[in-house]
Structure 1
Amino acid sequence: MRFLYLILCVLFFSCYSTTRNCSDFKTGKFYSEVTINGKLYKSNFYRNENVQVETYNNKIDSSKLRWINDCEVIFKTINPKNRAERKDVHLKILTTTDSSYTYEYSYVGETKKQKGIAYKAN
């Protein structure tokens, strides 16, 4: 009985795979939702291969992009106004659907990561 259970578990979990079509999200218009300490933050952004322009709370931020691979990118703020904005941000796409992706991000070199979801905007 245990052997049958073990085989069923292996078959079930081996069929599960995470979809990551990251190249579908390298360029375009998107909006993002991140929950931090129970508060939802939303932003809109446009991205091409080299630059991302984001609007949050009627404030526009621009970052240079350096793609590590199709699913990971480093953001460097173009005109940082304070020390926090000088820190580069590492973003990794974890999963994708046809219209969204789930990601995690952190300052480069830090272990604390946040998660969010970005959606294609029409």
Structure 2
Amino acid sequence: MAIIHYFAPMMKMRIFGLVFLGMAAACYNPPRNCNDFKEGEFRFTTVVGENEQTTTFIRRKSIEIDYYQEKADTSSIRWINDCEYVVKKINPKTPAEEKSIHMKILSTTDSSYTFEYGLVGSSKKSRGTAFKVN
């Protein structure tokens, strides 16, 4: 019985330590210096089917110009807060292009940001990483 009393405080400390580490890990927020990415030239690469496709875009204040497959397309940008904005094509050519896209910057590095995006009102989200070109 004396052995149990000897180890009980150590077990409580280990359990407390594990709970503390779990809480500390859950509270970790990756760095988000979103203001560093509000303007500039960026490159985003994604896989569509079996093909890798790259889009280059330039963002200035409330306008974003996308260059994809040798075509330029202009969208308006409405910032919700420092890390979230809504993109809407200025001259949509199809009903699908008329829909706005919600963008949310999740984390940043010195030269890139990871983001989540999806149609406004949709629960389906995708993720990507954009790299600052200049």
- For normalisation by structure 1, the TM-score amounts to 0.89
1:4 aligns with 2:14: yes
1:40 deviates by: 3.1
1:120 deviates by: 0.5
What amino acid does structure 1 have at the position aligned with 2:131? Answer: Y
- Which runs of structure 2 are paired with 1:12-31 in the superposition (5 Å)? 13=25, 16-31=28-43
What are structure 2's unaligned runs of at least 5 residues? 1-10
C-alpha distance in structure 1 between counterparts of 2:86 and 2:122, whole Å: 13
CA offsets 1:15-56 (integer angstroms, 9 cap, x no match): 733111111100011101234556433110100111000101
Q: Judging by fraction of residues, say which structure has more helix.
A: 2
Runs of 4+ in structure 1 off by over 6 angstroms are none
1:45 aligns with 2:62: no
1:86 aligns with 2:113: no
C-alpha distance in structure 1 between counterparts of 2:92 and 2:38, whole Å: 23
What amino acid does structure 2 have at the position aligned with 1:115? Answer: R
Q: Percent identity?
A: 45
1:67 aligns with 2:94: no
Count of residue correspondences: 122
What are structure 1's unaligned runs of at least 5 residues? none
RMSD value over aligned CA atoms?
2.0
For the pair shown, the structure with the greater C-alpha radius of gyration is 2
1:3 deviates by: 4.0
